[in-house]
Amino acid sequence: MNSTKTINLQSRPSGQPKLADFDFSTSEVPELGQGELLLGTKYVSVDPYLRGRMSDAPSYVPPFELNKPNKSGIVAEVLESKNDAFSTGDFVVGELDWKEKQVVKGAGLMKVDPNQAALSAYLGILGMTGLTAYHGMMEIGKPKAEETLVVSGAAGAVGSVVGQIGKILGLHVVGIAGTDEKLEMLKSEFGFDEGINYKTTKNMTEAIAKACPNGVDIYFDNVGGEISDAVLFNINKFSRTINCGAISVYNNTEAPKSISVQPFLVKKSSLMQGFIVTDYANKNKEAIQQLSAWLKQEKLHYTETIKEGFDQIPQAFLDLFEGKNKGKMIVKL
């Protein structure tokens, strides 16, 4: 019989997660029922947001269950199929259990093409990271050539894709990040026009004004807080702010205060719109087509750190919090 290893969530991490929060078990893979698939895991994504799902604080997604398999984005190969929608040899991506092999019904899985891009890309640039950047820019930002785009958290996985999309579409792109090294990378590797170090800049409002001589048309906001206040003073009429995250204020215990946005929005006929990537799931297919085309044309670049072996998944996850990855962290089986 077929057997598989599984990684379960043993305890909810308190503070920094540790190896002991996970345990390994081995079990037999069940027989396929009608409509089911047997999947063999190929690439596993480990991401900081998983930390949130390991806790049981209220959120917009349910927490992982204790003593059940942990999950994340996974690219798998169809090893056997009793489902008409999938054939043996297909590759799929979706949120799946941390198992070497698993039997599923196929709901929520998307087929991916290994000839269109490297399979691991479907966990990053062609996965949640790339889709978040693309949908936010296209559905909310609605960029027009020559406009000015400011990205906060610009050196993050999403931010660096946002800036590249801006450059591909002919915008003036300004990134905000916390070290000169990151800013240098944004300019040399990803083509950003200007960078602002929010940790060493005294007057952010003036720095943004200087980097954006024509004002700010699109602000892709990953951080909120004082950085976003400074952007507000520089927005143009009909500007769009994409509220992707507000990491600077997530850990506050009371609702934090910022500059009142309302007078700015009224005066500038300006828009702010929050979203999560699943809001636009119906447009994932066209998004992936466009992102893959840009990848093939070498207009879009990404970096990833790949670890090998199923047993390495928990350590790869822990390494994220030590900053041991460069770009997307992935485990290959």
Q: Is 157 in the site for a second copy (CB under 8 A)?
A: no
Cβ neighbours of residue 125 under 8 Å, at least 6 residues apart? 117, 161, 291, 295, 300, 302, 328
Binding residue for a second copy, selected from 4, 102, 164, 228, defined by CB under 8 A? 228
The C-alpha atoms of residue 233 and residue 150 are separated, in whole angstroms, by 13
Q: In the set 144, 267, 299, 326, which binds a second copy (CB under 8 A)?
A: 267
Residue 53 — φ and ψ, nearest 5°?
-80, -10
Contact set for a second copy, span 59-78 (CB under 8 A): 60
Contact window for a second copy (CB under 8 A) among 46-54, 66-74, 266-274, 293-301: 266-274
Among 181, 269, 309, 311, binds a second copy (CB under 8 A): 269
- Do 291 and 130 form a contact (C-beta atoms < 8 A)? yes
Residue 139 engages a second copy in binding (rule: CB under 8 A): no
Q: Does 8 bind a second copy (CB under 8 A)?
A: no
Q: Does 236 bind a second copy (CB under 8 A)?
A: no
Cβ closer to a second copy: 112 or 128? 128
> Which strand (E) or helix (H) includes residue 147?
none
Please tell me whether residue 211 binds a second copy under the rule CB under 8 A. Answer: no
Q: Which of 66, 259, 293, 306 binds a second copy (CB under 8 A)?
A: 259
Residue 114 backbone class (left: φ over 0; alpha: ψ -120 to 50; beta: rest): alpha
Cα–Cα dist 192/215, whole Å: 16
Q: Does residue 256 belong to the site contacting a second copy (CB under 8 A)?
A: yes
DSSP string, 188-222: HTT--SEEEETTT-S-HHHHHHHH-TT-EEEEEES
> Could you say whether residue 276 binds a second copy (CB under 8 A)?
yes
| Footprint on this chain of a second copy (rule: CB under 8 A) | 60, 221, 224-225, 228, 233, 238, 243-246, 249-250, 255-276, 279
